[in-house]
Amino acid sequence: MGADPRELIAARLKASRRFAVTSHLRPDGDSLCTALALAGMGALLGKEVDIVNRDPTPVPFSSFPELAGVRVGQIRAADYDTIVLLECADVSRSGQEGLDGAFKINIDHHYSNTPYADINWIDPEAPAVGEMVFELARFLGVRPTPGIAENLYCAIFSDTGSFHFSNTTPRALAAATELARLGASPNRVAEKIYYNNRPEKILLLGRVLSSLVMTGGGAIAVITMHKRDTESLGLREVDTEDMTTLARSIQGVEMVMFFKEMGPETYRVSLRSKGSANAAKVAEHFGGGGHVHASGFTVYGPYERLIREVPATVEDLLRDARLDPNAGRAG
């Protein structure tokens, strides 16, 4: 049995004078809040820590004052002793270039991760990477401050869909409880994430939900967000998780497909599933990936063709998975 990766990571971070933390393209609440917590732990150890992401911080997290210091762009690997990658299946998932010669630490809870770093800690049973870094605090010999605890709580709260998703395990709830004891405010986190909408966002919600199409005998709900809708409302970026949550609440729905127009004939398709429907396997079929119940991929072509052909393929994949349950399991 090999060395415990938590021990190896703790030893490396303690030996580093300066390290950088980065996450995947289109960072989410788990990766962003975990990066904040890890930076805070590094500061307690007297380390210089920078958070550098390739993509900007999305709403609602862009309104968090504590995330204002996150740099957007490329990491200068020569400036750091260690680079920590959060939730990146491979280096390309971070959008960072020039890291070949850098000492890398890979922390992830996606089963699709390919161990590519000098130290790899991959735990598909973890509810969120925030929960993993909470574990890491013990190996670092750090007691989380109330601020660090709240960031870690926010990471878990976000990635479990406010404790609605299937990764809301006893492990997730135990960590959340302990973080609340350490000073995290569940009420404040919920208000920052869910009660911060602009009127234009609610209008957009109506437009997206009005695009609802049911297919697969009611097992698949398809919704679409066109650029003309966001542009006409003056919305440059918008949090859309509540839109998929509402579509997923429909009785009998196993999977939601959310088409988001990114550019000419370019659509990002977010998948949200429940029960035994494996969104990750569907996303992988189209060259994407993610969690069992939250994944995504990108498709190209005329919308009229995509909205017809892609759901039909997903319907076939779900039907095949029902006929062969082993085909739908996470690998």
- Range 114-117, long-range pairs (CB < 8 A, 24+ positions): 114/89, 114/90, 116/90, 116/91, 117/85
In this structure, the answer to whether residues 267 and 128 fall within a common structural domain is no
Of 290, 60, 284, 86, the residue nearest 162 (C-alpha): 60
In this structure, the answer to whether residues 204 and 189 fall within a common structural domain is no
Q: What's 157's domain CATH number? A: 3.90.1640.10
Q: Residue 330: its pLDDT value, please?
A: 43
In this structure, the answer to whether residues 50 and 187 fall within a common structural domain is yes
DSSP-derived 3-state class of residue 83: strand
In this structure, the answer to whether residues 23 and 125 fall within a common structural domain is yes
| Residue 62: DSSP 8-state | G
Output the DSSP codes for 271-299. EEE-TT--HHHHHHHTT-EE-SSEEEEEE
Q: Residue 196: its pLDDT value, please?
A: 82
Paired strand residues for 296: 270, 289
Cβ count within 10 A of residue 202? 10
End-of-domain residue from the set 144, 178, 194: 194
Q: Residue 28: its pLDDT value, please?
A: 93
In this structure, the answer to whether residues 236 and 155 fall within a common structural domain is no
Number of domains forming the structure of the chain = 2
Q: Quote the domain boundaries for residue 221.
A: 199-328
Q: Residue 331: its pLDDT value, please?
A: 40
End-of-domain residue from the set 164, 194, 224: 194
Mean pLDDT by 10 residues, the chain (331 residues): 90 98 94 98 98 93 92 96 96 95 95 91 96 98 98 96 90 98 97 89 95 96 96 85 90 96 96 92 92 90 97 94 63 40
End-of-domain residue from the set 194, 221, 251: 194
Paired strand residues for 95: none
Q: What's 296's domain CATH number? A: 3.10.310.30
Q: Residue 326: its pLDDT value, please?
A: 61
